[in-house]
Amino acid sequence: MNETMTATPAQSGATANAPLEKIALESYVPPAKPSLVGLSRSELAGRLGEIGVVSAQRKMRVQQLWHWIYVRGVPQFADMTSISKEMRQQLEQHFTLARPEVAAEQISSDGTRKWLLRLPSGDKVERAHEVECVYIPETDRGTLCVSSQVGCTLNCSFCHTGTQRLVRNLTAGEIAGQVMVARDRLNDWADRDTPNGGRLITNVVMMGMGEPLYNFEAVRDALLIVSDNEGIGISRRRITLSTSGVVPNIVRTGEEIGVMLAISLHAVRDELRNELVPLNRKYPIAELLQACRDYPGSSNARRITFEYVMLKGVNDSLEDARLLVKLLKGIPAKINLIPFNPWPGTRYECSDWEQIEKFSEYIFNAGYSSPVRTPRGRDILAACGQLKSESEKLSVRERQALRAMAMTD
At 360-389, the pLDDT tens digits run 999 999 999 888 866 555 554 544 444 444
The separation between the first and the last C-alpha atoms of the chain, rounded to the nearest angstrom, is 55
Q: Torsion-angle region of residue 244: left (phi > 0), alpha (psi -120 to 50) or beta?
A: alpha
CA distances to 37, 93, 95, 97, 267 from 33, rounded to whole Å, are 12, 8, 5, 10, 47
pLDDT of residue 18: 60
pLDDT tens for each residue of 85-118: 999 999 999 999 999 999 999 998 888 999 999 9
Contact, 212 vs 241, CB < 8 A? yes
Q: What is the pTM of this model?
A: 0.86
Q: What letter does residue 201 receive in the DSSP assignment? A: -
Catalytic status, residue 132:
yes
Catalytic residue among 130, 132, 211, 392: 132
pLDDT of residue 375: 59
Calpha distance 392→158 (Å, rounded): 18
Reduced to 3 states (helix: H, G, I; strand: E, B; else coil), residue 122 is coil
Catalytic status, residue 217:
no
Calpha distance 181→267 (Å, rounded): 35
Catalytic residue among 152, 159, 350, 384: 384
* 181 has pLDDT over 80: yes
The overall average pLDDT reported for the chain is 87
